[in-house]
Amino acid sequence: RSPTPTPEALAWNGTGSTRNLFAIVLGRCYTYTQLLRPGLGSEACPKILDAFKSAFISKNPCDIMKEDYQPLVDLVNQTVPCNKSLFWSKSKELAHQYSWVQGGMFTLEDTLLGYLADDLTWCGDPSSVEPNYQSCPRWNECLNHTGSVFWKVISQKFAESACGVVQVMLNGSLSKPFHKSSTFGSVELFSLDPRKVHTLQAWVMHDIRGNYSDSCSGPSIRELESIVNKRNITFTCQNNYRPARLVQCVKNIEHSSCASKI
């Protein structure tokens, strides 16, 4: 008898799922709920892993719907205190360094769902009960993409629950620090609830070794300001917000902008 051939997994153009994906997700869940933020309850971790698996396992990775992640999202009941939400766009490293040092702010990746998935790649395959470790679609390979749908769903939820003053860190070393098509510009900004969020503060951070430019008065930030104002939210903007600049200074202590102002 000839063995039944195993069906070939679909081939995509991006890198495959992160090795040891499920062990990493489960480990992160325990790290977060038991060590980083005890009080959220670590008992749910096995269920959280199951809901994560069910969202994409045995499915076409270009055919994932928001609803696929709903059971996972429903298992996690976490709220961020008012005035503590930090959004970012093209400034992930600095935003995370700042929030880690500052201690009281939350980027999406400081919440459980974002923490579980940050920097991981995952996708399934219709012919297998395992993640596809060979290849996954790139973000721009399709619309209903396993990863991009996940980040859309949890970014939306994160923004909907924000209240008070919210912050966004943008990258002033780019010609356009604000992009309408980014997740911040297309999902988070429009999910802020003006009944709860009264002010959006933008921090436009420039690479410390780059040229100084007043991005707050440039066309890209003006566009953001106009969208925010139309939504009945007050907008403020600061170039090189000092506490975040000081985080940049750790690696660039000799730079003139790092000298004490006292």
Contact map string, positions 65 to 94, toward ligand NAD, x by CB under 6 A: ----------------------xxxx-x--
CB of 153 to ligand NAD, least distance (A): 10
Run of H or E residues at 168: strand 164-171
Residues 6+ away with beta carbon under 8 Å from 246: 258
32 in contact with ligand NAD (CB under 6 A): no
CB of 89 to ligand NAD, least distance (A): 3
109 in contact with ligand NAD (CB under 6 A): yes
Q: Given the complex with ligand NAD, which of 119 and 254 has the nearer CB atom?
A: 119
Q: Using CA atoms, how far apart are residues 98 and 67, in angstroms rounded to an integer?
A: 33
110 in contact with ligand NAD (CB under 6 A): no
Question: Is the Cα torsion angle 214, 100, 235, 149 positive or negative in sign?
Answer: positive
Binding segment for ligand NAD (CB under 6 A), chosen from 43-51, 97-105, 151-159, 230-238, is 151-159
| Residues near ligand NAD, by CB under 6 A | 87-90, 92, 108-109, 114, 118, 138-140, 151, 155, 158, 182-184, 188
